[in-house]
Amino acid sequence: MISTRTLARALAPVAVFAAASPAAAAPSPALAQVQQSLAATQSMTAAFRQTDGKGQTLAGTLALKRPGKIRFAYGGGADALLVSDGATLHYLDYDVGQHSKWPIGKSPLAILLATNPDLARIATILPSDSRVVLVRARDARRPEFGTLVLAFSKSAGAPGGLLLEGWSAIDAQNKRTTVKLDNQRYNVAVPESAFSFTEPKKR
């Protein structure tokens, strides 16, 4: 079975993807729609399936609340949690008693969680089916930090007309971790307690 550390490594500090740039050009209409969709998403819950480059998978539930808060709760007997409290992203492995953390602003998840996501400098729209919008975010100034590809499907009922289907995080060694979402529910009540956690006991 895939280790939960795979997603944690993929979401470790790779770039401040959502940082604004004074020299950034105006986004294309498709990229502007993505920004509108992200800005209109105040909260979301979903089921997720995480797959590594070897095809091994883990599943669980996701809760998101902007700005800055997200929680990946793993099922299938994986005793681990990936959660942001609004400022810091925490990876908690209860099996081994490990707690790792890094600033949420230096994670690819900054794109999903920033108050005003600005994608113009670091993101491009990829060719895709007319019903799908693919966005690649990569900071050319820091290529060692990797790439994030977001996938949206067009849906009139979703914020900004785009339904987030998932993403792929590709690290500097070209290792890919893909997260696919299902049963997405937007702008629903998510309690603050969802982003708290119990400190793992050292083994």
| Max CA separation in the chain (angstroms) | 52
Please state, in angstroms and rounded to a whole number, the distance separating the CA atoms of residues 24 and 168: 24
Nearest to 129 by CA among 157, 149, 111, 151: 151
Q: What is the pLDDT of residue 108?
A: 72
- Per residue in 92-135, pLDDT (tens digit) is 998 889 999 988 877 777 778 887 777 887 889 999 888 999 99
- Per residue in 68-78, pLDDT (tens digit) is 999 999 887 67
Long-range CB pairs of 63-69 (<8 Å, 24+ gap) are 63/190, 63/194, 63/195, 64/112, 64/113, 64/190, 65/190, 65/194, 65/195, 66/41, 66/42, 66/112, 66/113, 66/114, 66/115, 67/113, 67/114, 67/115, 68/104, 68/113, 68/114, 69/113, 69/194, 69/195
At 96 the three-state DSSP class reads coil
| All structural domains of the chain | 5-187 (2.50.20.10)
